[in-house]
């Protein structure tokens, strides 16, 4: 089975939810395709911009909970997870592939992402 996760926020709690979901689904042997769009792309640059405005995000920082990046790294170790940065959002913020951390496999459009996930389920995290 395939699962697509569309992430549109750079809020720590939402990024962590997407990362945990990727870990769980990929550990069950399913393919996961993560599509980072709008503000979410900011959280995957070499100088990440992450918001900690909600209570959950603040508590995660205070308690030094596992970071979304390390969770996505765990998920990617399965070999079942691909992460795409939205071409539109990348253009909007003037990001190139070199601006992103190594977790990002490529810059792609929503059409390419949709074709990858065809027949699977889609989860949106905004």
**pLDDT value of residue 117:** 97
Return the HEC string of the chain. Answer: CEEEEEECCCEHHHHHHHHHHHHHHHHCCCEEEEEECHHHHHHHECCCCCECCCHHHHHHHHCCCCCHHHHHHHHHHCCCEEEEEEHHHHHHCCCCHHHECCCCCEEECHHHHHHHHCCCEEEEEC
Integer Cα distance of 41 and 47 in angstroms: 11
Integer Cα distance of 106 and 109 in angstroms: 10
**pLDDT value of residue 101:** 98
The pLDDT tens digits for 99-123 are 999 999 999 999 999 999 999 999 9
Which pTM was predicted? 0.96
What confidence category does residue 89 fall into, taking pLDDT thresholds of 50, 70 and 90? Answer: very high
Rounded to an integer, what is the distance from CA 111 to the centroid of its chain? 17
The pLDDT tens digits for 25-66 are 999 999 999 999 999 999 999 999 999 999 999 999 999 999
Give the domains, in start order, of the chain with CATH numbers: 2-125 (3.40.1260.10)
């Amino acid at each position: 089975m395939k699962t697509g996760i569309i992430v549109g926020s750079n809020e720590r709690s939402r990024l962590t939810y997407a990362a945990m979901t990727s870990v769980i689904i990929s550990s069950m042997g399913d393919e996961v395709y993560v599509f980072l769009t709008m503000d979410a792309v900011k959280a995957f640059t070499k100088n990440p911009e992450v918001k900690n405005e909600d209570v959950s995000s603040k508590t995660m920082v205070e308690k030094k909970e596992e970071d979304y990046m390390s969770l996505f790294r765990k998920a990617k170790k399965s070999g079942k997870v691909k992460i795409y940065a939205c071409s539109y959002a990348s253009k909007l913020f003037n990001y190139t592939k070199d601006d992103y951390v190594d977790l990002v496999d490529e810059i792609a459009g929503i059409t390419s992402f949709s074709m990858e996930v065809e027949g699977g389920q889609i989860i949106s995290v905004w």
